[in-house]
């Protein structure tokens, strides 16, 4: 499974990329606003760090506006992935953009039927938001399983990009189901390495080594 960082903080992206754990990045208007920087500058800097897809979201809600903004964003770098909302105009833009060789991430997916429409529109990625479903007491991982089954039934190439991933348990669950990508906050990705028994084992090994009086 691929790991994307869900952030617009360049420092965190650089750190994860240097660790070799990063396959791409997702951003959205909220994350860009949180960074306090200019949208295009942030996307350009991220694209210079990460070789994989970098999602940049349009803000227009009509087809013409989406296509105009997408044309501008595509000029930033070859790995820019245009992010569009799961609406009729968004699906129309998705079809036009992917037909022109552009990667497209269809976002704000909350049902398997929506995901089916995105695949038919040629989406590169579909972004089901599992954490937000959990917030309304719906098991978001069930949606990942439903989409996986539908895509496998018809051999769709659209990759399932599990979004709103908040915990290590979320990561494990979507990996077991077969999501292609999990996009997570940097803290969640870095936290995956931790286990109390790993920490305890390292502490014991170091204590035993110290007793030998040796150095390396």
Question: For strand 80-85 and strand 104-109, is the pairing parallel, antiparallel, or unpaired?
Answer: parallel
Q: Is 83 annotated in the active site?
A: yes
Alpha-helical segments (H) within the chain: 10-19, 29-35, 39-49, 63-74, 88-99, 112-120, 130-135, 140-154, 168-177, 186-191, 196-212
130 Cβ contact partners less than 8 Å away, ≥ 6 residues apart: 140, 141, 143, 144, 162, 163, 164, 165, 170, 174
Coil vs helix vs strand at 214 = coil
Q: Which of 34, 83, 92, 172 is catalytic?
A: 83
What's the rounded Cα separation, in Å, for the pair 177 and 204?
36
- Answer whether 63's CB lies under 8 Å from 92's CB: yes
Handedness of CA 89, 75, 3, 13 (dihedral sign): negative
| Residue 13 near residue 25, CB atoms below 8 Å | yes
What is the sign, positive or negative, of the torsion defined by CA atoms of 50, 53, 57, 62? positive
Q: Which residues are catalytic?
A: 83
């Amino acid at each position: 499974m691929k790991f994307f960082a869900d952030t617009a903080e360049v420092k965190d992206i650089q750190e994860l990329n240097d660790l070799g754990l990063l396959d791409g990045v997702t951003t959205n208007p909220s994350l860009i606003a949180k960074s306090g920087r200019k949208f295009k500058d942030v996307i350009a800097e991220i694209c210079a760090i990460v070789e994989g897809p970098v999602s940049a979201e349009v803000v227009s809600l009509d087809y013409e506006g989406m296509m105009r903004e997408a044309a501008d964003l595509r000029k930033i770098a070859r790995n820019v992935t245009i992010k569009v909302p799961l609406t009729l105009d968004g699906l129309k833009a998705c079809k036009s953009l992917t037909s022109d060789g552009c990667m497209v991430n269809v976002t704000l997916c909350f049902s398997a039927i929506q995901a089916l429409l995105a695949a038919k529109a040629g989406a590169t990625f579909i972004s089901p938001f599992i954490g937000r479903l959990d917030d309304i007491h719906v098991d978001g991982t069930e949606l990942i399983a439903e989409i996986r089954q539908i895509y496998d039934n018809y051999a769709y190439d659209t990759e399932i990009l599990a979004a709103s991933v908040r915990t290590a348990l979320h990561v494990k669950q979507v990996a077991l189901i077969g999501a292609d990508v999990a996009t997570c906050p940097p803290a969640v990705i870095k936290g995956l390495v931790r286990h109390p028994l790993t920490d305890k084992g390292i502490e014991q090994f170091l204590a035993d080594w110290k007793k030998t009086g040796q150095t390396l």
